[in-house]
Amino acid sequence: MKELELKYGCNPNQKPSRIYMTEGELPIEVLNGRPGYINFLDAFNSWQLVKELKAATGLPAAASFKHVSPAGAAVGLPLSDTLKKIYFVDDVKLSPMASAYARARGADRMSSYGDFIALSDTCDEETANLIHREVSDGVIAPDYTPKALEILKTKRKGTYNVIKIDPDYVPEELERKQVFGITFEQKRNNVVIDSSLFSNFPTKIKSLSKDAERDLIISLITLKYTQSNSVCYVKDGQAIGIGAGQQSRIHCTRLAGNKADIWFLRQHPKVMNLPFKEGIRRADRDNTIDVYISDDHDDVLRDGTWQMFFTQKPEVLTREEKKAWLEKMDGVALGSDAFFPFGDNIERAHKSGVKYVAQPGGSIRDDNVIETCDKYGIAMVFNGVRLFHH
């Protein structure tokens, strides 16, 4: 098949719409549903991300994509009991592939609502069961077990989008796109992200643990497929905060840091023990937890509101308690798709437990950034590679 007609483009008024190959066949097969223009943009970007994560780490990888940027990305490490609970997967069996998706989906569940999923390996029954219970638009993977495909075909009344991609497909070296009737052409970003990029340490600390190397690799590969400007926080094999598409780098760092803080605050005992009523949907739990954690907690604790969700009125999670809890956050890796222009980014990153930083370097204020890292005992590597993605 050389081309596939789509229902419409980014918006319903943008017709006609299609994907096609000028040479050869499309490397995909639609096994179920009717994916749209944005679905395919998410699918092809997220597939590249998980394929590179698998190649770099040797572990199955998953991504949760929304609007052509990842909401989450992770590799298939085992989950702690705490993570299983806050990701709502403590009641299911998790294969390595399912663990990767549980991590990718669970880090920022608000952003992942209605996501497009990418899996580096064959979708098995455990992963399909996990996908089936969440709200999402579709999935792309190199293959599906018969049972997994059977499960996915029952989702969304049989319309769920399931795409199979040829894992051996290699695109041509040059890529093109049109803007305002004008064709842009460039060489594909084929830079390989691995530990060989981690040799130039301008900070006093000049080494990384193996886990830190892995997490920085995950961060940079995630950024390679995130709309710029972008910053990514990673902890224990998964992105825990992604700031995408901001005009200012400090706003990227704050946005991603705030998401990382929420991820960690969800593990606070008061949050984990919220007395939810039986039958409350996971999406409603996510929304309620997000408000409860925020400074707007009165919105869910006022009389007449908390009774909708809880069996009893929860205690307030105070600012002092949140601050004390966040001070326990440590060992976080941070990647940036371009240089940090000022030390304020490191100041903000430090508040979210960042101990390792990878960025290209090259700012006229590199000395200020290095000095700020040294103040907090942060190891920073200049990788010399910019990762803008538009």
| Whole-angstrom distance, CA of residue 103 vs CA of residue 57 | 16
Residue bearing tokens 């508040």: 351
Taking Cα atoms as reference points, which of 199, 202, 197, 198 lies closest to residue 372? Answer: 202
Beta carbons of 351 and 327 less than 8 angstroms apart: no
For β-strands 332-336 and 230-235, DSSP reports them as antiparallel
Question: Residues with catalytic annotation?
Answer: 66-67, 229, 390
User: Are 120 and 101 in contact, with CB atoms under 8 Å apart?
Assistant: no
Whole-angstrom Cα distance, residue 214 to residue 236?
9
DSSP string, 222-254: HHHTSPSSEEEEEETTEEEEEEES-SSHHHHHH
H-helix or E-strand containing 4?
strand 3-6
Task: Name 124's Cβ contacts closer than 8 Å, sequence gap at least 6.
Answer: 95, 97, 98, 145, 148
At position 55, the amino acid (one-letter code) is: A
Helices within the chain (DSSP H only): 37-57, 81-86, 96-106, 109-112, 125-132, 146-152, 210-224, 249-265, 269-272, 282-293, 298-301, 306-309, 319-326, 344-351, 366-375
Do the beta carbons of residue 90 and residue 81 sit within 8 Å? Answer: yes
Burial classification of residue 95, based on how many CB atoms lie within 10 Å of its CB (0-12 exposed, 13-18 middle, 19 or more buried): middle
Of 268, 266, 308, give the one whose Cα is nearest residue 88. Answer: 266
Specify the residue for token string 């593990």.
Answer: 267
Q: 111, 287 in Cβ contact below 8 A?
A: no
Distance separating alpha carbons of residues 380 and 373, to the nearest angstrom: 7
Q: What are the distances in angstroms from CA 316 to CA 15, 263, 272, 295?
A: 51, 18, 13, 10
